[in-house]
């Protein structure tokens, strides 16, 4: 399954809302879709799994939605530490695959 993320780069001010899209080439079964945040020099960090469940310790300004082929990660009220690259990943069908990433940068 090919995952296409858009936009490639999102330029926003702190406090604004970020809306990131992940589109799958075929239906992702059981909404088996996750979102990760990655900062330079660090490993990815799980934010959302099963399309809409926040991982442990993730602030509630992060939310996920969607099903079948269209998924969205929303970050409300961007904090300075939220500026990073975000990846979606599907694990409904082997092999698991990742999107190419969306960079959220400070405007």
Partner 1 sequence: QVQLVESGGGVVQPGRSLRLSCAASGFTFSNYGIHWVRQAPGKGLEWVTVISYDESNKYYADSVKGRFTISRDNSKKTVYLHMNSLREEDTAVYYCAKGKDSSASPSHFDDWGQGTLVTVSS
For binding to partner 1 (CB under 8 A), which residues are involved?
32, 34, 36, 42-46, 49-50, 55-56, 87, 89-101
Nearer to partner 1, 8 or 80 (CB): 8
Q: Is 18 within 8 Å of 10 (Cβ atoms)?
A: yes
What is the rounded distance in angstroms from the CA atom of residue 53 to the CA atom of residue 50?
6
What is the rounded distance in angstroms from the CA atom of residue 1 to the CA atom of residue 18?
25
Min dist CB 34 to partner 1, Å, is 4
Beta carbons within 10 angstroms of residue 87's beta carbon? 21
Q: Phi-psi category of 38—alpha, beta or left, where left has phi over 0 and alpha has psi -120 to 50?
A: beta
Nearer to partner 1, 69 or 91 (CB): 91
Min dist CB 31 to partner 1, Å, is 11
Min dist CB 13 to partner 1, Å, is 26
Nearer to partner 1, 38 or 69 (CB): 38
């Amino acid at each position: 399954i090919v995952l296409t993320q858009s936009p490639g780069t999102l330029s926003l001010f702190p406090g604004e809302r970020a809306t990131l899209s992940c589109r799958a080439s075929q239906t992702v079964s059981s909404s088996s879709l996750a979102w990760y945040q990655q900062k330079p020099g660090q490993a990815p960090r799980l934010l959302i799994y099963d399309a809409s469940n926040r991982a442990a310790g993730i602030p509630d300004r992060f939310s996920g939605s969607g099903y079948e082929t269209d998924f969205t990660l929303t970050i409300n009220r961007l904090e300075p530490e939220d500026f990073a690259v975000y990846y979606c990943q599907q694990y409904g069908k082997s092999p698991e695959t990742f999107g190419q990433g969306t960079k959220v940068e400070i405007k």
